[in-house]
Amino acid sequence: MRVTHTRHTSRVALCFLACLALGFCVEVTHAGDDEIIVHDVSSLRESLSQRHVKRRPSPLTPLSACKGACTYTPPNHALFDKATSTAKAPPLSRCEEKWYTQPLDHFSFATAETYEQRYFICATEFFNPRSPTIFFYTGNEADVTLYVNATGLMWETAGFSDELSAALLFAEHRYYGKSRPKTMDDETKPKIQRLAYLTSEQAMADYAALIRHVTEVDLVQMSAARGDTGASKGFLKVKQIARPFNPSDVAVITFGGSYGGMLSTWMRLKYPHLVAGAIAGSAPVWSFLGEEPAVDPGAFAAGVTYDATAWGGANAACQGNVRGAFRELINIFENGDSFDFKSVTTLLRLCPGSAIKKDEDILTTAYWLQDAFDYLAMGNYPYEDGYILMGDGTLPAFPFRKACSKKLGDATLAKKGRDALIAALADFAGVYYNYSGTLSCFDSLNVNGPNAETKVDTNLWDWQYCTEMFMPSSRDGVRDMFFSQPWNVTEQVKRCNDVWGVTPKLRWADTLFGGRRLKSASNILFSNGALDPWSKLGVMRTTDFNDVLNDKKGMVAIELQNGAHHLDFFWSREHDSDELKQAREVERFWIGKWIKQKRGKKKGGVAVE
């Protein structure tokens, strides 16, 4: 038994990596010993009470059908003027792509293998050797160029003032993007050998080594090349040089969203001598077994449901109608016949290749519909934006609310019967899947399947899930508006053994990183949004049962009532809300304070004038 995500083939920007995060995956047969692929859906006859879907905290990345062209484009004011005032380019154009040779295994002497890690150094005009600072993005499970273009918080903070000036460093996570060890593609070896070194611990060791390399080599060479052993050629006005650039003086502030936010948090915990502070956006660090109080497996699904309520800004009738619609659909799965199958095909406007022919198709389609709710909840941003679609299109402002304002917002919908309820699900899903407005039908069964690159990247996270990122999740149709998808540890352990030949370290993440026991931590700012389903698994005042938050220690939480998944990390916009502007002000305050703390531990030097 395996888990993967059902997709719509004609939707090129469907973001595959979030499927395991969001709890909407379906079970499939497992691959052979030497395959790192995802097979077609099968073996779905067991009862719903035996089914489990897992999720993971991931940003959204495109299908490779985009062929590298579908990249996030920030708002116009973030585009960089190149040679002429009319030539505009994305932030990536202000970066230098570089490579660093990393050991495949940082923690033993069993292998001497290495791999090439990709990273980008950006905005070096903001680097001041007299007050050296780096903003370091701890790369997630995706191509790092996504975050280079999307993480406006880093770019805008680095250029905000002299005190906050910094070069930007974006590191790619091992095994993802172009940072692929050679052994990963060696099909003569079993999967367990090919992916043995894909862990968060190894990735953070990469980042620690990279920090040393960049501060001791790259930035020193850059400063020497531009002839400013103590003065910057950027916007800074430096009148006096008291000492040359010293690598040990560099203040490193880590940034990361979602899984990257978890890594950012853990980098501060594990490498405090290298990291002065961390900004962790939408980081579900409290989502593992072994925590006290115990993790709530249903928190994510309850969070999606919140977005469908009046409290979440949606039409008041939406949540109840969604509940009723899924109830009708699952009833057909359990009791339907061929007539019902034809009816569902018509009501959901499914393409001929995705016509419902058996009960398994009903369940697959139910998960496909559930996908839309999960993605739109994560991407429930207050402005039109293409982040969720990876630049292949644009979703409306507050897309979840927009979808709920259609048929699902009809207070009389339930009285119109089963067919009306089921048809309304397709109406909602169309906001996400038919963002272009050009689709005449939906290919919910994804008969052609994702391509090979998509299969590999999807499974990379499943490996991480089955080894150390073992995050329980469930849905029950009671606290949430979906249907029964219970959490079953035994079945998930068996699945991991069947697929990868490994047994998950059930409580290792809690043991390694401390879970809720973070009273010894310092200088970490956690930001979350009430509209983000991941928020209740992160560090918030309402989830801080052990008094971790403490301003005196720089342990701070920001909560945005109208914030979706790491909203504060994106580029600023003209009509940003006051609470969003204030959140970024608070973030700048703490970043500046951490930089000053780093400076205070060093003697000598002259303050920037």
Amino acid identity of 256? G
- Structure tokens, 312: 């979440």
- 532 included as an active-site residue: yes
Residue 225: Cβ within 10 Å count:
8
- CA–CA separation, 194 vs 329, rounded Å? 41
- 565 included as an active-site residue: yes
What's the half-sphere exposure (Cβ side, CA atoms, 13 Å) at 361? 23
Phi, psi of 199 (to 5 degrees): -140, 160
- How do 277-281 and 167-171 pair as beta strands? unpaired
Contact 130, 606 (CB under 8 A): yes
Return the axis-axis angle of helices 200-213 and 259-270, rounded to nearest 10°: 70
Q: 133 - beta bridge partners?
A: 251
Cα Rg for the chain, rounded, in angstroms? 24
Question: Of 223, 258, 264, 473, which residue is the catalytic one?
Answer: 258
How far CA 415 is from CA of 155, 349, 418, in Å, comes to 52, 22, 9
CA angle, 108 then 111 then 115, to 5° = 105
- Structure tokens, 522: 């310092």
- Structure tokens, 24: 């909407």
Query: Exposed, middle or buried by CB within 10 Å (0-12, 13-18, 19+), for 191?
Result: buried
Question: Of 5, 30, 52, 565, which residue is the catalytic one?
Answer: 565
Question: Of 218, 392, 532, 568, which residue is the catalytic one?
Answer: 532
Which residue intervals of 308-384 are DSSP H helices? 318-335, 338-347, 359-378
The residues annotated with a catalytic role in the active site are 258, 532, 565
